[in-house]
Amino acid sequence: MTFCYLAAFNWWLLLCPWTLSHDWQMGSVPLITSGWDPRNLLTCAAFGALLVLCYRFIADLEVQKHTPAVIGVLLMVLPFVPASNLLVTVGFVIAERVLYIPSVGSVIITAYGVQLMWCSKPGTKVYLAIGLAVLAASGVARTHRRNAEWRDRATLLRADLVTLPQNAKLHYNLANFLRETEQQDSAIKHYKEALRLWPSYASAHNNIGTLVSGMENAEHHFLQAIKFNKYHVNAHYNLGKLYKKSGRMQQAVTMLEKCIWLQPRFVQAHVELLSLKTENEKQRILRRLVDLEPSNWEHYVLYGDWLRSRGLPAPAAKYYLEATRLSFRYRGAERNVRADLITFRYTALMYRSLGQKSRTLQLLTRWHTWRRGWPSAAAAHMYLRDWRLKMELEGRAQLYSKAVSPTKSTKCFDHTQLAVGSKEERIPQNEEKNKTVDTKSAIKTSSDKKDSDNRSCGTKKRNLSVSSQIKTTHNKSEIGLKDKKCTLHRKDKKKGNGVIANIGAPLAEHILMKTY
């Protein structure tokens, strides 16, 4: 009786498509268990109308006076028979999609009936016109409203729940959406409503187990899901992770192995099982992971880590290099930087531990080439040379920056102090600088005497000619060969107190003589 009612209900949807839903499962249409059910009247009316149409169809085969009616009946009945559950059982209760072609037959029959009434009963034209206008307006309004309900997933689910509040599948789907949008409390509420309407709903038990607080509640729902569906892979996997988190390792291994037995290509179960197995058993799982997903670079990194921990650097470098290659081949827009950086780092560290510095440098060159989008390695080498020159110039700039706020010295400087030499040439200068620090105390004791000497030296400088006042001291012929110094400084040199400070990067005021 229920199957017959479903066929009649589809016919009613053709006449009045008001109760619409994208999912008609799990309690959407209650079973008819009694002959006194009022819904049987709709079934009788639908099949009675179908019998009348079939009679007119058979009677018109010879005279062919009602060809539109024949075509309409064929389009309405024949496409619907395979989905009617009358000949074969199908996997759905009601599906609006199977009414697309039958709706064409229904429109043809309706239009043909209006035409007959329009011609045979002229007095009913006004009523027919009003009826057609109301029918068209209601159809347009219902289409506009349904299009608004199909705007997004949440709107569709909420609208269908208003139509079918007894549908457990709709509550389950809405709970899944709420869980994905981080609305945990509302999701748990709809999961519980789905379980109230359908207590043996295994997937609802599994999903609510991932949200409820407390390991005991979660374990209860996972066990219920396995009870109602012993082949539920996700329930076994989630229960195994729960046992692992709570420290029940043996039970976790059992559940994860059962999960792999149910679905041998379940990669996540292999990954979780990897941390629970011994070192000797890990190799088999790692090989299985590589076989299941040969294009996943993370599995190669895991295998390389295991080989490195076992003291096998050469095979580990091979897997790291393969991970690097895969990270370039199967690059995604979201995880490309993370994948490439991790694989490059592991590969470079392994090459460096093996002492293969040239290959490490080559790998880093390739990394810079790819990250900057260069077409060839020649551009990368030019970049490295530019980078080396930049580093050298930055080192020289650091030397010059030490003289940003220098103390004004009374010493005359030699041009050889202005050169920035190599590391070996700066070593004796640093030693001389240390000696200078040791003599600071001696210099301090004679500061009063030097002040008076400086004043006398300044008096002599005031008598210099104009040309000598602006002459620079970085001329080699004037300083290096003639060795011109003031008389006071010659006396200081004879006394041994004139230690010239080692200034690695003087400013312009040290290069030019002061003028008065």
Looking at the structure, give the CATH architecture of the domain made up of residues 182-375: Alpha Horseshoe (1.25)
Long-range contacts of 340-344 (CB under 8 A, 24+ apart): 340/367, 340/370, 342/301, 343/297, 343/301
pLDDT tens by residue, 401-442: 776 555 554 444 444 444 444 444 444 444 444 444 454 444
Q: Is the pTM of this model over 0.95?
A: no
- Reduce the DSSP state of residue 294 to 3 states and report it: coil
What residue type is 440 in one-letter code? K
- pLDDT, residue 330, reads 62
- Compute the chain's Rg from CA coordinates: 46
The set of residues, in sequence order, having a beta carbon less than 8 Å from that of 352 and lying 6+ positions away, is 360
Instruction: Average the pLDDT over 352-375 and give the result.
Output: 67
Report whether pLDDT(378) > 90: no
Which helix (H) or strand (E) segment holds residue 59: the answer is helix 39-63
Report whether pLDDT(494) > 80: no
* Range in 102-111, 144-153, 241-250, 414-423 with the lowest mean pLDDT: 414-423
- Reduce the DSSP state of residue 214 to 3 states and report it: coil
Residue 259 pLDDT level (bands cut at 50, 70, 90)? very high
Report whether pLDDT(173) > 50: yes
Please state, in angstroms and rounded to a whole number, the distance separating the CA atoms of residues 419 and 290. Answer: 60
Question: What percentage of the chain reaches a pLDDT higher than 90?
Answer: 20
Other CB atoms closer than 10 Å to residue 79's CB: what's the count? 17
* Range in 26-30, 154-158, 201-205 with the lowest mean pLDDT: 26-30
Please state, in angstroms and rounded to a whole number, the distance separating the CA atoms of residues 473 and 177. Answer: 82
- pLDDT, residue 332, reads 53
Question: What percentage of the chain reaches a pLDDT higher than 70?
Answer: 68
- Reduce the DSSP state of residue 445 to 3 states and report it: helix
Please state, in angstroms and rounded to a whole number, the distance separating the CA atoms of residues 491 and 281. Answer: 86
The set of residues, in sequence order, having a beta carbon less than 8 Å from that of 151 and lying 6+ positions away, is none
pLDDT tens by residue, 304-351: 888 888 888 788 888 877 887 787 666 554 445 555 566 667 777 777
Q: ∠ CA(508), CA(509), CA(512), 5° rounding?
A: 85
Residue 174 pLDDT level (bands cut at 50, 70, 90)? very high
Please state, in angstroms and rounded to a whole number, the distance separating the CA atoms of residues 263 and 266. Answer: 6
Q: Where do the structural domains in the chain lie, given as residue ranges?
A: 2-150, 182-375, 415-511
